[in-house]
A and B are shown apart, each in its own frame.
Chain A
Amino acid sequence: MDELTLLARALPDAPPPSAEVVERARARLAAARQEPPRPRRSGRRGRLVWAWTLGTAMATAAVVMAVVTLVSSLALVPAPALVPSGGNEALLRLADEVAKLPDDRGAYWRRPLLNNGLIRVKAGDKAFNVLSSSRIDLWQPRDVRDPVHVEQWEQFVRPATPADERVWRAAGAPATVQRVCTPGTRAGDCKKIRMRSKPSDCLSTHAAEPGGVLGDRRLGELTLADISALPGDAALLRERLRAYWKASKSARAWKSFEEFLPMARVLLELPVSPSVRAAALRLLAGLPTTKVRGSVTDPMGRQGLAVTFVKSEGFTGQFGADDEVAERYVTILHPRTGTLLAANVSIAAESAEGLAQGTVMHYQAWAPEAGWTDERPERPRGCRRSDRPIP
């Protein structure tokens, strides 16, 4: 017998996993399937629905400069400094404030999403980090006959910190750098990355969505009219979600309604009225899975409230010389409106080469222009029109 087979046979065989183990694993996967997709740096384009929950890069010409200025200091922003939170009462207090806000609406609900993340790269034989930024802007019209407008921009790829910039410059400031191939990354994915100082590659679509169904379908096919009819009371809202959970095959991927309930957080990312948002915050505050982490400065330098809605830890293959790096995620909410400031904020839970524990590695932030507006979206000059949905 071949030595290799003999070696492998020295290990005891293993029994198949029990049905319970398989079901538990299946439930974990089902829960992940309801999460907003992680930013994609490459690969195919999906349907318009994805424009709601992820992006590769977008901005309007009008705000590009402002965003570049803001984001350029991102990597310098220290990891969110958590302060004592006083339990989930902070969410209840926030809900009280949100409930008092006027229900101002404009002709469009705008959701500008920034997808930013660190990438480990090499120039010559020196490794350093770059910050890659992309943006996707969505205008959801109040009038369902109006088209949905989406714009996508690749914003920049630049050294993440002044120290990273020194390494890049010392290597002759090359226009392309080599992505470091960390363990678990396929050789084919360790591609060269083009440094980019200005926003480019704008792509836009302008198309009516049949029936005015919103792109974010994590809570089913909803229209603005549907979400206007949601109750502004936490107990009633809970029952509405129960009805949805019972009726929806994908929602029932969770074993129980209680396991499904943290999905109420999706309401914070939809154009709901302040009273519904307040009800959602109250509902979430009462769940055992919700943990308020305290006041933080978000990666864009804004004050916010950090919350974990589900147990959320993972690993990133972007860093780590001999292993992946553990990361944890938080959601950061606006401290007065309860809307999203940043989601999927991934923070290094351990240090690795080129990465200090506590560093923000990637996140999806809503730019300050988010919210209702009467300003009609215009395709910026030089922005390519796409017939295919973005992204």
Chain B
Amino acid sequence: MTQPQPVETLEADDAELIRRSHDDPEQFAGLFDRYIQQIHRYVARRLGTQAADDIAAETFLTAFRRRASYDVTQRLARPWLYGIATTLMARHRRGEERFLRALSRTGVDPLPEPMADAVVGRVAAQEEDRRLAGALAGLSQGDRDVLLLVAGGDLTYEEVAWALGVPIGTVRSRLHRARKKARAALGGDDPTREVS
């Protein structure tokens, strides 16, 4: 397994790899090596590792099949891959909400992980985190996507707009809504929090 490396140190940037993969599909493996860990982590945080195993693999399959539509002027493919993963995750929206609500009730990841993984995993046991998990569950899917791409995926607003195919103004307004809900949750008067 090649560990992800900073793109600056690589010979070909992502766009170049994708361009080459039109004629030589093997080149696409380079993109997989660069980003599989990041994409898996992003999905696992939202849906648990079990779903992430499948969705991360599906993300690269989808990306490969759609590579002809990739805008090769975009040097880094990271936002594109995050966008695909986010779209694939939308199919699991209800599962994600159950996950978050369980988290907000108990503070414990409701999806049991293998023992070794559980040691690595951080359990959101703090009261504040539980309230925030409730607030996350109360966000719309679109708002949550934007929030977790910015705060969890480390994408810029421009990159999120590209990843999700929405105007940058939409990114800003979704983040604004997410902030308001977070504030309400931290203030203890979160109207979205489920009473259990």
Contacts and interface: CB of A to CB of B under 8 A. Distances in A.
Interface residues of A, number: 54
Contact of A186 (B136, B165, B183): B165
Contacts of A8: 147-148, 151-152
B165 A32 contact: no
B interface, over-half SS = helix
Nearest to A326: B91
Interface string A101-144: 00000000000000000000000000000000000000000000
A12 B152 contact: no
B182 A6 contact: yes
A13 B23 contact: no
A5 B129 CA distance: 11
Contacts of A24: 53, 57
Interface in B35-60: 36-37, 40-41, 44-46, 48-49, 52-53, 56-57, 60
Most-contacted residue by chain A among B36, B46, B68 (CB, 10 A): B68
Given A7-B178, A12-B121, A183 B32 contact: no
A12 B45 contact: yes
A44 interface: yes
A387 interface: no
Interface of B: 1, 19, 22-23, 25-26, 28-29, 32, 36-37, 40-41, 44-46, 48-49, 52-53, 56-57, 60-62, 64-66, 68-69, 71, 83-84, 86-88, 90-91, 103, 109, 113, 116-117, 120-124, 128-130, 132-133, 135-136, 147-148, 150-152, 161-162, 165-167, 175, 178-179, 181-183, 186
Interface of A: 3-17, 19, 21-22, 24-26, 28-30, 32-34, 37-38, 40-44, 46-47, 49, 181, 183-190, 250, 253, 314-315, 317, 322-324
6 contacts: A9-B129, A10-B132, A15-B113, A17-B44, A44-B68, A183-B90
